[in-house]
Amino acid sequence: MATLQVLTIPAFDDNYLWLVHDGVHAAVVDPGDAGPILAALALHQLSLAAILLTHHHADHVGGVPELLRHASVPVYGPRHEKIPTVSHLLEQGDTVVVPELQWQLGVLDVPGHTSGHIAYFAAVEEWLFCGDTLFAGGCGRLFEGTPEQMDASLQKLAGLPGRTSVFCAHEYTMANLRFAQAVEPGNVALQERIVREQDKRDRHIPTVPSTITLERETNPFLRWREAEIRHSLQEAGKLGDDTGIAGFAALRAWKNSYR
């Protein structure tokens, strides 16, 4: 059995498309643009075996029709969203098997960014493909879901093994970490992370994948219950004395307007 590898395929301004391969066959996650995927397949002499989608936004699904014109392959996607190209509908507890790669992934429901968003967890490799739910240092905007849903989704992902690699779909890391520092300035692990990630960006190296452990230590949307973050929210007039989900909602709303 060949060792699986993940190719990072940049697209648009700040998207990452993920191409998982064994040197012969490949599966692609969230191909918003077909061009870079077709180029990578040709460059590495790979045959496309499957397409996996996390949610319906165009920058995640836009390249699927063109890819299907080049290869008739299964398209996996969320059961609770309408994506015309999906041939295999998935929800929490389902399993995806890509036989050409001898690769198996579990499906997690992670609504919040969209109402039917899913994530894929490959337990053997400890890889998480989470679309726009969990970002390096942040989380997705709540376009369709509620704060309660997003918080539950993030806590579900935070419960995965700490070594899990987090393959999120955007290079938003430095902006996310600047906000994280504003709301939790005393977090030493966060300060150290900012230095490391800025060095990567200075050298044009992607900051993802991250890891679950690193997100637990530095991501304010996994840490919003921490006293310093709640104090920052209160000092900024974003939150009263409420100790419930209002804290998460206030943090997400603040990030939406933070510059």
56 is catalytic: no
204 is catalytic: no
CATH number, span 5-257: 3.60.15.10
Please report, to the nearest 10 degrees, the dihedral formed by the alpha carbons of residues 161, 164, 170, 174 taken in order. 80
Question: pTM here?
Answer: 0.97
Q: One-letter amino acid identity for 140?
A: G
Predicted confidence (pLDDT) per residue in 15-48, tens digit: 999 999 999 999 999 999 999 999 999 999 999 9
Contact at 8 Å (CB) between 14 and 171?
yes
Q: Active-site residue among 60, 109, 117, 151?
A: 60
Q: Active-site residue among 22, 30, 59, 109?
A: 59
* pLDDT score for 1: 59
* pLDDT score for 148: 98
pLDDT tens digits, the chain, 259 residues: what are they?
579 999 999 999 999 999 999 999 999 999 999 999 999 999 999 999 999 999 999 999 999 999 999 999 999 999 999 999 999 999 999 999 999 999 999 999 999 999 999 999 999 999 999 999 999 999 999 999 999 999 999 999 999 999 999 999 999 999 999 999 999 999 999 999 999 999 999 999 999 999 999 999 999 999 999 999 999 999 999 998 777 999 999 999 999 999 7
Q: Active-site residue among 25, 55, 56, 117?
A: 55
How far is Cα 53 from Cα 61, in angstroms, rounded to an integer?
7
* pLDDT score for 173: 98
Contact at 8 Å (CB) between 216 and 162?
yes
Q: Which residue has the tokens 């998480």?
A: 128
How far is Cα 121 from Cα 166, in angstroms, rounded to an integer?
10
59 is catalytic: yes
Q: Active-site residue among 25, 56, 57, 117?
A: 57
| Boundaries of every domain in the chain | 5-257
55 is catalytic: yes
88 is catalytic: no
21 is catalytic: no
170 is catalytic: yes
